Structure 1
Amino acid sequence: MLFALMQLIGGIILSIGWIPQIVQILKTRSVSDLSLKAYLLMLLGIGLMEAYAVNLAADGNGLAFLITNTLSLAVVSTVVLLILRYRSPRFPKK
C-alpha cells in the first residue's frame, strides 16, 4: 500500500512537471527550442508503458501506475500537439 501511494504521488509530480512547459508554449506561442523528435520518442515510450499499465490493472495490480501513466500520456500528448500547432513551417510562403 505504501509503495502504491509513493508511486501515485511520484507519478503525479512527474506529470505536473510538464505543465510549466505547456503554459510557456501557450504564453509565447513558440516551440522553436523544443525537439519534436524527442517528444515523439517520449510519447512512444509512455504509450508502450500505457499498454503494460492497462495489462497490470486488468490483473488487479498497478492501478496507481495506470493512473499516473495515463496522466503523463495526456500531458506529453498535449505538448506534442502544441509543437505541431506552433512550429514554423518548413517552407515559408513567399
Structure 2
Amino acid sequence: MIFSVMQLTGGIILSLGFIPQIVQIFKTRSVKDLSLKSYLLMLFGISLMEVYAVSLVVEGTGLAFLMTNTLSFMMVSIVILLILRFRSR
C-alpha cells in the first residue's frame, strides 16, 4: 500500500513538472530552445512503459503506475504538439 502511494505521489509530481514548460510556451509562443527529438524520445520511452503498465494492470497490480504513466504520456504529448504548432513561427 505504501509503495502505491509513493508511486502515485512521485508520478504525479513528475507529470506536473511539465506544466511550467507548457505555460511558458503559451506565454511566449516560442519553442525555439526546445528539442523536438528529446521530447519524442521521452514519448517513446513512456510509451514502452505504458505497455508494461497495462500488462501489470491485467495481472492485477500496477494501477497507480498506469495512471501516472498515462498522465506523463499526455503531458509530453501536449509539449510535442505545442512544439509542432509554434516552431514555424
Relative to the length of structure 2, the TM-score reads: 0.97
After superposition, where does 1:1-94 map in structure 2 within 5 Å? 1-88=1-88
Cα distance per residue 1:45-85 (max 9 Å; x no partner): 00110011011011111000000000000000000000000
Q: Which runs of 4+ in 1 moved over 3 A?
A: none
SS of 2:60 mapped into structure 1: coil
Which has the greater radius of gyration?
Answer: 1
C-alpha distance in structure 1 between counterparts of 2:80 and 2:29, whole Å: 13
Verify the 8 A CA contact 1:31 1:86 in the aligned structure 2.
Answer: yes
C-alpha displacement of 1:6: 0.3
Identity within the alignment, %: 72
Letter in 1 for 2:37: K
- Structure 2: gaps of 5 or more residues: none
RMSD: 0.8
Counterparts of 1:82 and 1:49, CA distance in 2: 23
Give the Å deviation of 1:88: 2.4
* Number of residue equivalences: 89
Deviation per CA, 1:3-25: give whole Å up to 9, x if none: 11000000000000000000000
TM-superposed deviation, 1:43: 0.3
